[in-house]
């Protein structure tokens, strides 16, 4: 079970786009042992709908279950890993469903717009709380990769290595478009109530539809064709889940309702859209030039969300700013989600990045 820290009690977190939050609860988990000089700490940054527990004991599976353990890619015999639920989430860290101390009601529509920069600032406060002033590495996939990059910008002297898996420096217009459609599905659900739905029926249909669309960007046509093809279900309404692939998407959407909040989904999608390394600096090159860490970037050629061309452009932008980038790419049937499941591909690259 995740641990909890309450931060920003003496002063509020001033948000990058205005507004503030205080106090902020942060759910986090640790794995491995911190060494005497605290030089083996690695921060793991989760993707959009992840949480603070990439590894779970007792038979359940965390989102990086097969990557963490003795001798594995994230070797708990050697390193001490910290993972926290992001600001704005709904898995223990302060977000829209949390109680606003000013009103004693859930924040709901009053929860401010947050950025990756705000998320990283909260992570830094957690590490200060834990007495860790230096990170051997920051590792993240997808939305977590953006967080890892921002760590190198915001705290260049406190990070030795950045490992960015399947994430470009900024989101493409197409990806922003997908996120817009997902948001509209939620916002136009009759039970959204402007975001203040916590004492009534939530916008479940809208959130379910949003998740189904999101799943199509995380996977590939090859994987879906192999898994489902044009197979149909027996004895079903032609307007319902007639094809097996439709049934799969409906199941994923329904399952998502049990673990995520619509307002958190809206806030985090927008933080993904808004990520700009140049925020707070004269231009992007000035921001990226602050990175001193060894930077590893891994792309997947079949990724339909963070496409190969976007990863290539990100590599070039980093190198133009003087960042030494170790770039790898490969093909996977799993597309964007490969960084969560394709252990055999990612394991040697992660180990190499953590050793060299």
Q: How far is residue 278 from each of residues 90, 134, 153, 171, 192, measured CA to CA in Å?
A: 28, 24, 9, 14, 33
What pTM, to 2 d.p., does this model score?
Answer: 0.96
Q: How far is residue 282 from each of residues 171, 179, 204, 278, measured CA to CA in Å?
A: 20, 28, 42, 7
| Catalytic residue status for 133 | no
- pLDDT for 170-214, tens place per residue? 999 999 999 999 999 999 999 999 999 999 999 999 999 999 999
Alpha-carbon dihedral angle through residues 151, 153, 155, 158, given to the nearest 10 degrees = 80
Catalytic residue among 98, 142, 167, 302: 142
Domains and CATH numbers, the chain: 3-170+276-354 (3.40.50.1820), 175-269 (1.10.1740.110)
Catalytic residue among 189, 261, 276, 303: 303
Q: Which residues are annotated as a binding site?
A: 211, 337
Asked if residue 145 lies in contact with residue 42, where contact means CB atoms within 8 angstroms, the answer is: no
Catalytic residue among 75, 168, 302, 336: 336
Nearest to 163, CA basis, from 226, 95, 73? 73
| Catalytic residue status for 332 | no
Q: Which residues are annotated as a binding site for substrate?
A: 211, 337
| Catalytic residue status for 336 | yes
- pLDDT for 13-72, tens place per residue? 999 999 999 999 999 999 999 999 999 999 999 999 999 999 998 888 999 999 999 999
What is the model's pLDDT at position 276? 98
What is the model's pLDDT at position 72? 97
CA distance 131 to 199: 39
CA distance 135 to 137: 5
φ, ψ at 180 (rounded to 5°): -60, -45
Decide if pLDDT at 293 tops 90: yes
């Amino acid at each position: 079970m995740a641990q909890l820290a309450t931060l920003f009690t003496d002063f509020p977190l001033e948000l990058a786009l205005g507004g503030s939050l205080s106090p902020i609860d942060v759910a986090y988990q640790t794995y491995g042992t911190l060494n005497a000089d605290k030089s083996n700490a690695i921060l793991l940054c989760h993707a959009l709908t992840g949480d603070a527990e990439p590894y779970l004991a007792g038979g359940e599976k965390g989102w990086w279950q097969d990557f963490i353990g003795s001798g594995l890619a994230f070797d708990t015999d050697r390193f001490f890993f910290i993972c926290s639920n992001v600001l704005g989430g709904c898995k223990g860290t302060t977000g829209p469903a949390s109680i606003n101390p000013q009103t004693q009601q859930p924040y709901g529509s009053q929860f401010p717009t947050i950025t990756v920069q705000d998320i990283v600032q909260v992570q830094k406060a957690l590490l200060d709380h834990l007495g860790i002033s230096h990170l051997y590495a920051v590792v993240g996939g997808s939305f977590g990769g953006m967080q890892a990059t921002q760590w190198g910008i915001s705290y260049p002297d406190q990070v030795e290595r950045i490992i960015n898996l399947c994430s470009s420096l900024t989101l493409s217009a197409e990806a922003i478009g997908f996120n817009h459609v997902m948001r509209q599905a939620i916002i136009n659900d009759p039970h959204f109530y402007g975001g203040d739905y916590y004492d009534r029926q939530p916008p479940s249909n809208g959130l379910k539809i949003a998740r189904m669309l999101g799943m199509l960007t995380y996977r590939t046509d090859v994987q879906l064709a192999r898994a489902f093809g044009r197979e149909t279900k027996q004895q079903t309404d032609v307007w319902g889940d007639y094809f097996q692939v439709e049934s799969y998407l409906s199941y994923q959407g329904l399952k998502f309702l049990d673990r995520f909040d619509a307002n958190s989904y809206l806030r985090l999608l927008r933080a993904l859209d808004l990520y700009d390394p140049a925020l707070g600096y004269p231009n992007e090159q000035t921001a990226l030039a602050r990175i001193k860490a060894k930077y590893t970037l891994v792309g997947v050629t079949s990724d339909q969300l963070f496409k190969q061309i976007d990863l290539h452009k990100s590599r070039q932008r980093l190198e133009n700013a003087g960042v030494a980038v170790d770039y790898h790419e490969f093909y996977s049937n799993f597309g964007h989600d490969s960084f969560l499941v394709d252990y055999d591909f990612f394991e040697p690259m992660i180990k190499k990045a953590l050793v060299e």
